[in-house]
Amino acid sequence: MVKRGYHHGNLRQALVDAALDLIREKGPTGFTLSEAAKQAGVTPAAVYRHFEGREDLIAEAARQGYEIFADLMQYAYDKGQPSALAAFEATGRAYLAFARKHPGHYIAMFESGISVNRTPELAAVAKRAWDVLEKAASDLSQHIPPEKRPPASMFSAHIWAMSHGVVELFARNSPGTQSPFPPEDLLESGIGVYLRGLGLIPPDS
């Protein structure tokens, strides 16, 4: 790999970018801080001026990923307005789009074992992303009679889990998990089945 050059003041970001490359290539536990330093074009000692260790570096990559993810989810939600159904479906598709476009961030966020509660900053931005999906679920659930309405947090958790499953199994080239259908179609049809079960879309749509 080509070493990254950096200007005074942005070494921290150069190290995060190097870590993202290594995460995509080797996974979150498949590289050392020395490798990240080498790729960023600095000495290993320089890393410790900015990060306590590899997990600290991955946590910052995850935090930046959640910032991108939350913005993307908000954009999808806004684009679907004023239709609660369109906004909700758009947030599901945004999850898949994010995983494809930002695999390094995605792995740091969801596959590294780093807790979102590691730092207050990471927890706050993760909550911001979750809140968009929960808001979309809450908007849509208003069309369900109160006595049959699931909590918005449960509603959104189901869709998040479905989206995550499609990504993990079929959108990231996992061995032995080839699907005859595009991941987008799997997710859209899965959401459709779920919403029909709640009576939010007609059985024949």
Interval 47-64 mean pLDDT: 91
The percentage of the chain sitting over the pLDDT mark of 90, rounded to a whole number, equals 33
pTM: 0.84
Does 191 lie in the same domain as 103?
yes
> How many domains does the chain fold into?
2
Query: For residue 9, what pLDDT is reported?
Result: 57
Interval 90-119 mean pLDDT: 91
The verdict on residue 155 lying in a domain is: yes
Q: Which residue has the higher pLDDT, 193 or 78?
A: 78
Q: For the domain that residue 110 is a member of, what is the CATH number? A: 1.10.357.10
Q: Let me know the angle formed at the C-alpha of 105 by 104 and 111, rounded to the nearest 5 degrees.
A: 85
Yes or no: say if 165 and 172 are a contact pair by the CB < 8 Å rule: no
Kindly provide the b/e burial profile for residues 158-196, where b requires at least 16 CB atoms within 10 angstroms of the residue's own CB.
bbbebbeebbeebbbeeeeeeeeeebbebbbebbeebbe
Query: For residue 117, what pLDDT is reported?
Result: 92
Domain-ending residue, one of 30, 51, 72: 51
Mean of the per-residue pLDDT values of the chain: 85
Q: For the domain that residue 37 is a member of, what is the CATH number? A: 1.10.10.60
Q: Which domain holds residue 18?
A: 1-51
Does 6 lie in the same domain as 68?
no
Does 131 lie in the same domain as 107?
yes
Interval 98-118 mean pLDDT: 92
The verdict on residue 9 lying in a domain is: yes
Query: For residue 173, what pLDDT is reported?
Result: 60
Q: How confident is the model at residue 57 (pLDDT cuts 50, 70, 90)?
A: very high
The verdict on residue 25 lying in a domain is: yes
Q: Crossing angle, helix 103-110 and helix 84-101, to 10 degrees? A: 100
Does 69 lie in the same domain as 1?
no
List phi, psi (to 5°) of 192: -60, -45
